[in-house]
Amino acid sequence: MRKVSFHTLGCKLNFAESSTLARRFVEGGYSRVESHKDADVCVINSCTVTAQADRKTRYLVRRIHRDNPAAIIAVTGCYVQLHHDGAAALEGVAIALGNDRKGELFDRVEALVSGRQTLPETACGGFFAAFSSGDRTRAFLKVQDGCDYRCAYCAIPDARGPSRNIPIAQVVAEAERIAAGGQREIVLTGINTGDFGRTTGEKFLDLLLALENVAGIDRYRISSIEPNLLSDEIIAFTAHSELFMPHFHIPLQSGCDRILELMRRRYTTERFAERVSAVRKAMPDAFIGIDLITAFPGETEGDHEVTCTFLEQLQPSYIHIFPYSRREGTPAAKFDGQTSAAVSERRAAELALLNGRFNHLFYSRFVGTNAEMLVESADRGGLMSGFTRNYLRVELPYDHALAGKLIDIRLASVAASGAMTGEILRAKQNFSENIADIIEE
């Protein structure tokens, strides 16, 4: 039996796609191994969101080829889409396929192994449907791909193509497959997830409504949604839904209107703050995560201060900080006022301090309250972790019997690790088990 290893960089979409590719290899008779040293085929699913992501891809190729020169190395993903010839020319690479041909990867490897010449062509701009499996608790389900927004700093629209999606009926069928595999929570994933419906004429809200009827799934989360797409209807729906969690990840990118305009974002800070307060009005305990790019070209000390002041007012639960990375081919790469690494690192460190404070404040609010937690399966040094409905991470002593279960807990304190500790009140029947009981009756 041939062996394959997977090495995935970047976002949840890439992880979902790698998982789907891995299932294809297993169906085709391969066994999946962890280490590249044991593999006959090594698949690298690359990322190009920053210059560092590019470097990591090249490093991975070099390392795998050095450690296992006989392995077939197949590279795919966003780095390959934008730098195909460079990726194909890396020593050791046998197959290089961009995102638009990711679905061919297994057939390409098999053709190489068997010496076959011809392969079916995959239409450029097609949709490679994917979901992650393997984790007993949570699956990332790809519902959308690509982006039409053209933010000034972003190379992803070139790497991922135009915004497109599969129909609601197909997403529901994929969710049913996930439920059948035993996973309890689904994270809806895309490049611009809230833009779902662009190619099918459907509405994102109708997708959420349809998914509520899938038997066997206890929880849904939306991985990220642009502020201009976070409508009152979606907020109201989530506030009343038992299954969609009060957890929002909304890319802000800058708290300074001048920089937002340079970035070609589609909202002002006023509009962003209004959306966040609409969420909090409907769901006071909601987790609000944001993305922030620091040291964008032209960002002055004053602009950075404006961002910090805006964040103090906004008080998000979590800030995901990205130091600006210059991507060739984007408008921002040609902007004046490119910032130095030292300035970028200092501003990122200041924002990290703010993030630590906001995150701790958010967690501390819930000490002494009761919550529902979905327990994950991994044993991490005698501890198991999981998330509450509003995305508080909780750590408890490991108990195999609780893996994949919903439990009620009392939140006790915020540990040094940043997670909460808690006391188990009772294990609940998962909604899916309830549904099974009802069907049997």
Instruction: Return residues touching ligand SF4 (CB under 6 A).
Output: 147, 149-151, 154, 156-157, 191-192, 226
Residue with tokens 């949570």: 138
CB of 243 to ligand SF4, least distance (A): 26
Closer to ligand SF4 by Cβ: residue 156 or 311 = 156
Helix-then-strand count for the chain, H and E: 14, 18
Give the phi and the psi of residue 78 in degrees, each rounded to 5.
-65, -40
Q: How far is CA 163 from CA 126, 166, 416, 441, in A?
A: 11, 11, 41, 44
Burial of 34 (0-12, 13-18, 19+ CB in 10 A): exposed
Q: CB of residue 154 vs ligand SF4: minimum separation in angstroms?
A: 3
Minimal distance, residue 13 CB to ligand SF4, in Å: 11
Cβ proximity to ligand SF4, 157 vs 246, nearer residue: 157
- The DSSP H or E segment spanning 425 is strand 420-427
Compute the least distance from the CB of residue 426 to ligand SF4, in Å: 42
Cβ proximity to ligand SF4, 193 vs 390, nearer residue: 193
The Cα–Cα gap between 307 and 319 comes to 12
Choice between 188 and 411, CB closer to ligand SF4: 188
- Bridge partners of residue 418, in order along the sequence: none
CB 165 within 8 A of CB 204: no
Phi (first) and psi of residue 3, to 5 degrees? -120, 145
- CA gap 140, 15 in Å, rounded: 8
| Minimum CB–partner distance for residue 223 and ligand SF4 (Å) | 12
Question: Which of 156, 217 has the CB closer to ligand SF4?
Answer: 156
What is the C-alpha to C-alpha distance for residues 213 and 176, in angstroms, rounded to an integer? 10
CB of 330 to ligand SF4, least distance (A): 9
Phi, psi of 414 (to 5 degrees): -100, 120
Residue 184: CB minimum distance to ligand SF4, A:
29
Closest distance to ligand SF4 from the beta carbon of 192 (Å): 5
**In Å, how far from its chain's centre is CA 271?**
24
Closest approach, Cβ 191 to ligand SF4, in A, equals: 5
- The smaller minimum CB distance to ligand SF4, of residues 157 and 386, is found at 157
18 versus 163: smaller Cβ distance to ligand SF4: 163
| Measured distance CA(261)–CA(424) in Å, rounded | 48
Structure tokens that stand for 269 in this block: 């800070």
Cβ nearer to ligand SF4, comparing 259 with 420: 259
DSSP 383-412: EEEEEETT--EEEEE--GGGTT-EEEEEEE
Q: Of the two residues 25 and 204, which places its CB atom closer to ligand SF4 in the complex?
A: 204
| CB 246, CB 291: distance < 8 Å | no
- Give every CB contact of residue 313 below 8 A, 6+ residues apart in sequence: 273
